[in-house]
Structure 1
Amino acid sequence: MTGKGETRWFEALRAVLDDSHLWQAGEVAGRVGAAVSPLGLRATIWLTDYEQMALRALPEPGRAAPEPLPIDGSLAGRAFARVRSLRGDGLRWWVPMVNGTDRIGVVEFVAEADQDADFVGKCELLAGLIGHLITTTMPRGDHLDLVRRSQAMSTASELLWRMLPPLTVSCERAVISAALQPCYEVGGDGFDYALDGDTAYVAILDAVGKGVTAGVACAVALAAIRAARRAGGGLAEQARAADEALTEHFTEVRFVTAVLAELRLDTGRIRYLNAGHPAPLLLRSGRLVRELDAGRRLPLGLADPRAQVGEEALEPDDRLLLYTDGVTEARTPEGEFFGVNRLVGLVERSAAARLPAPETLRRLSHAVLDHQGGPPDDDATLLLVQWSAAAALDTVPTTKAADV
């Protein structure tokens, strides 16, 4: 590419970044379109909905909004699922859009003429910038969030979604990914993580009950765990902080089941506390090795001075799957439970298909919903930790070929 061509791309990137300081959420699509137009490009931004079933286009001034695209069964969906740039018909490219490594959608680029060999790389750079800027713009108004919704959200869900971190985070040595269902009605389930130095901290929670009361209990426990962790407290101190917070803020007994864990990223050593929660599943080479059944204590909110921390040694590429009982206890109208065996079987098949961690959980959460054949009776949350440099690279956008 000539120096002039490089300058035009730089100007487009700078225009998007400069505009982002003052743009409103409803202006994003139009401003991005204006910035890339001098490059002979048309760009359409597609955001994933909360349930991760479809991609929804950001409306653009003067253009009718296209129909949502299904993630399962469309080329755009394949680009999203695999975090891989894919070529469509003619001069059309579907480029994954992430915030860090959290999948938020795709950008559809259509060129007016043939481009140079580095064209896709430049599109990935632009899509990455757009992804970051959409994330920073989201809290400014309701527009972008409304694009992602296919239905109204409950009060409890509004509360919890604002408390939770992005669904996926990666570093050079690990991936942590989560999925929640039903995303518009979730109440008592939650999760948390932090990647700091050589340690990854994770937590999954399930507050007893339903609706706002359960959501508040989960939020209180989650905030207490974060506060204790950020003050330097270990797993036992985090659990005690949650006990005290739940006792202080609820007049009646209110408890939350949870798993709190910390993984050493340099050695693979994991330490964990299980507060009345389903045991985490350890998978190695795509197969279940065992349940982690140590580190037991009473649910959060019920002080347990006898609690002891469990320990386990992971091997490179191991997966640790945490889940709430709404997953395994999901049942068909005839009463058949989803069960641990079905869950493990699906995870093992996803490993054989080399699915990225977030795509594994997306498909698992949908399998739980499909099994029930209707609205779920309980929240169903999944959290996957993979100690693997290769798995981390699978969450970074690229043009590397991959099957779905």
Structure 2
Amino acid sequence: MSGPEDRVRRALGEAPADLLIDRLATELARAYGITRTELYQVDYRLAVLLALGDGEPITSPGHPAWRCFDHQEPVVSEGTGWFPVGMRGERRGVLRLSPLPAGPAALRELDAMATALGHELAAVTASTDVYVTARRDRRLTLAAEMQWELLPGRSRIRPSFRLAGQLEPAYAVRGDSFDWSDDGRRLWLSVINGSGEGAAASMLTSLAIHALRNARRAELALADQAALADQAIYALHRGEQYLSALLLELDLASGTMTVVDAGSPRLLLLREGEVSEQVLEKQFPLGMFEATDYQAQQFPLRRGDRLFVVSDGVVDATARQIRYGETALDRFLRRTGPMEPLDAVRSLIGDLRAFVAGDLIDDAVAVCLDWLGPQP
């Protein structure tokens, strides 16, 4: 006879895409007597947890919901349980359940069900706007809509690495973006420092990312991936439009990092509490000239190294005619050592927003990669 977990998983798998929470609530009420089941999703700025239904937004950092989201573990407060919702390191939000049944076994089961919900949300997002619409507390610009649809996710965890990225201004970003993929042996990461305004900037970035994906999936070497994207952009714009990019490929068995710097964002290394800029051979941006011959570089990572990739929108953020600058950036990055990558990029963008006293005017992208070492 199947238990509650099996019934919940079956109900989620069979539910219409827009009724996942309704079906989950029905099963939880039947199995545990839970009468309140609510999904709260984190918004695009990583600043507010938004209810799928009529619940009030949650912004206070000390709220149990945020403690659950930040630490990625269940939090029980005043008879209400908060459970992290996500998959493979991608944090979607939290699930609120009450009244909570007694006993650690029930807590573990509900935690597993919240994870199952995260997988189902990822599976149905392409077929319904219900959950995507509920994640925003304001309207996205057309350019921002295009950029967020391009992303592979916002965070990723595997035994050998942890990875996260964030775009700002989240609701109006234009050309900055990032992309990643891994196959268990290698991790590929590209960070785009876009150019232009509005939807035109997003279209240029979209062309670059799709060209890079096409080359990567054809199993071309990293330098050849850059060359193919360069040719695709030049063929369309004849050098009138181009963009900067940093392409990285990490060998997960050895920790060897291969890099192609195409007029790229900054690559910073946090090692044993000290920040240094990784010296790279600067090459032409993608699409600037016809048939650019790109060269790859290699350098080894040590277990515990943290890499940051940041666009010029981070360093050049300005408030009261004062530039954020390299010194402030290095000082802040040193403080992120104990943080998970998603918390690190979220904190960095938050520090920038505090510095400028609002949303950034220029695009900024921040990506954080932790190398945990080879795994069996």
- 8 Å Cα contact 1:294/1:309 also seen in 2: no
1:55 to 45, 49, 52: 49
Q: Which residue does the alignment assign to 1:396?
A: none
1:154 to 141, 146, 155: 141
- 8 Å Cα contact 1:191/1:202 also seen in 2: yes
Q: Which amino acid is 1:40 matched to?
A: G
Q: How far is 1:71 from its partner? A: 5.6
Q: Which residue does the alignment assign to 2:330?
A: 344
Q: Which amino acid is 2:28 matched to?
A: V
- 8 Å Cα contact 1:43/1:107 also seen in 2: yes
Looking at structure 1, the residues matched to 73 and 272 of structure 2 have their Cα atoms a distance apart, in angstroms, of 24
Q: How does 1:203-218 map to 2 (within 5 A)?
A: 203-218=190-205
1:236 to 199, 219, 223: 223
Q: Which residue does the alignment assign to 2:362?
A: 378
Q: Which residue does the alignment assign to 2:126?
A: 139
- 8 Å Cα contact 1:182/1:376 also seen in 2: yes
Q: Which amino acid is 1:139 matched to?
A: A
Q: Which residue does the alignment assign to 1:18?
A: 14
Q: Which residue does the alignment assign to 2:72?
A: 83
Q: Which residue does the alignment assign to 1:101?
A: 89
Q: Which amino acid is 1:320 matched to?
A: L
Looking at structure 1, the residues matched to 40 and 359 of structure 2 have their Cα atoms a distance apart, in angstroms, of 27
- 8 Å Cα contact 2:245/2:263 also seen in 1: yes
2:39 to 2, 24, 45: 45
Looking at structure 2, the residues matched to 92 and 152 of structure 1 have their Cα atoms a distance apart, in angstroms, of 31
- 8 Å Cα contact 1:54/1:68 also seen in 2: yes
Corresponding position: 1:168 with 2:155:
yes
Q: How far is 1:156 from its partner? A: 1.0
Q: Which amino acid is 1:340 matched to?
A: E
Looking at structure 2, the residues matched to 314 and 224 of structure 1 have their Cα atoms a distance apart, in angstroms, of 28
Corresponding position: 1:92 with 2:80:
yes
Q: Which residue does the alignment assign to 1:397?
A: none
Q: Which residue does the alignment assign to 1:401?
A: none
Q: How does 1:116-135 map to 2 (within 5 A)?
A: 116-135=103-122
Q: Which residue does the alignment assign to 1:260?
A: 247
Q: Which residue does the alignment assign to 1:355?
A: 339
Looking at structure 2, the residues matched to 389 and 31 of structure 1 have their Cα atoms a distance apart, in angstroms, of 41
Corresponding position: 1:300 with 2:289:
no
Q: How far is 1:11 from its partner? A: 2.3
- 8 Å Cα contact 2:239/2:288 also seen in 1: no
User: What SS does structure 1 have at the residue aligned with 2:41?
Assistant: strand
Looking at structure 1, the residues matched to 106 and 100 of structure 2 have their Cα atoms a distance apart, in angstroms, of 13
Aligned residues: 372
1:72 to 54, 61, 64: 61
- 8 Å Cα contact 1:53/1:72 also seen in 2: no
- 8 Å Cα contact 2:75/2:83 also seen in 1: yes
Q: Which runs of 5+ in 1 are unaligned?
A: 60-64, 393-404
- 8 Å Cα contact 1:98/1:105 also seen in 2: yes
1:188 to 175, 178, 189: 175
- 8 Å Cα contact 2:169/2:364 also seen in 1: yes
The 1:252–1:280 alpha-carbon spacing in structure 2 relative to 1, beyond 3 Å, is: closer
Q: Which residue does the alignment assign to 1:32?
A: 24
TM-score (norm 2): 0.94
Q: Which residue does the alignment assign to 1:111?
A: 99
Looking at structure 2, the residues matched to 9 and 214 of structure 1 have their Cα atoms a distance apart, in angstroms, of 46
Q: Which residue does the alignment assign to 1:62?
A: none
RMSD, matched Cα: 1.9
Q: How far is 1:44 from its partner? A: 1.5
Q: Which residue does the alignment assign to 1:402?
A: none
- 8 Å Cα contact 1:93/1:108 also seen in 2: yes
Q: Deviations over 1:328-353 (max 9, x none)?
A: 11111x111111222222221121xx
Q: Which amino acid is 2:33 matched to?
A: G
TM-score (norm 1): 0.87
Looking at structure 1, the residues matched to 366 and 310 of structure 2 have their Cα atoms a distance apart, in angstroms, of 4
Looking at structure 1, the residues matched to 100 and 70 of structure 2 have their Cα atoms a distance apart, in angstroms, of 27
User: What SS does structure 2 have at the residue aligned with 1:126?
Assistant: helix
Q: How far is 1:162 from its partner? A: 1.3
Looking at structure 1, the residues matched to 123 and 314 of structure 2 have their Cα atoms a distance apart, in angstroms, of 32
Q: Which residue does the alignment assign to 2:269?
A: 282
